[in-house]
Amino acid sequence: MGDSGVSRGPGAEAAWVERLGVGAWTDVVVALRAGADVVDRGQYIVVRTPSNRSYVWGNCIHVLEGADDAERWRTVFAEEFSDVGHVAIGLPRTPDAAAWPGLHVRVEDVLVRGPD
């Protein structure tokens, strides 16, 4: 897959917040600061850290829609990351865990502070 649309460095981080939500955006910002490249593929965003292939959330995809299409996203992840020993797919909402056989679906809560 081509890397058109690669964003590098802290200046690129603002472009992702609206599309990802605060929790995933935070993961992307941390990965960017650790040297990751971020590529927008339209329906998903790829975060790739060539210098650290074992960095799970630095080598992942963030899905923007279609959280229950597990087969598709597992295939996309395998195509993007044939050289890592993990599967890390960020989803926009909690999926039906039964749609993701063989994988542990982990739900993370994100707390944000509103305006005073």
Determine, yes or no, domain membership for 111. Answer: no
Confidence tier at 9 by pLDDT (50, 70, 90) = very low
- Which of 5-9, 12-16, 36-40, 53-57 has the lowest average pLDDT? 5-9
Kindly state whether residue 99 falls inside one of the protein's structural domains. Answer: no
Q: How confident is the model at residue 72 (pLDDT cuts 50, 70, 90)?
A: very high
Instruction: Report the pLDDT averaged over residues 39-46.
Output: 92
- Is residue 13 situated within a structural domain? yes
Domain assignment of residue 52, yes or no: yes
What is the rounded distance in angstroms from the CA atom of residue 93 to the CA atom of residue 59? Answer: 20
pLDDT at residue 1, rounded to an integer: 47
Asked if the model's pLDDT at residue 46 lies above 90, the reply is: yes
The boundaries of the domain holding residue 61 are 6-93
- The number of distinct structural domains making up the chain is 1
Using DSSP's 3-state secondary structure scheme, residue 71 falls into helix
For tokens 């472009």, the residue is: 15
Mention every residue, 6+ apart, whose C-beta is less than 8 A from residue 25: 13, 16, 17
Residue 85 half-sphere exposure, CB side, CA atoms within 13 Å? 2
Confidence band for 19, pLDDT divided at 50, 70 and 90: confident
The reported pLDDT for the residue numbered 51 is 93
CB-CB neighbours of 88 under 10 Å: 17
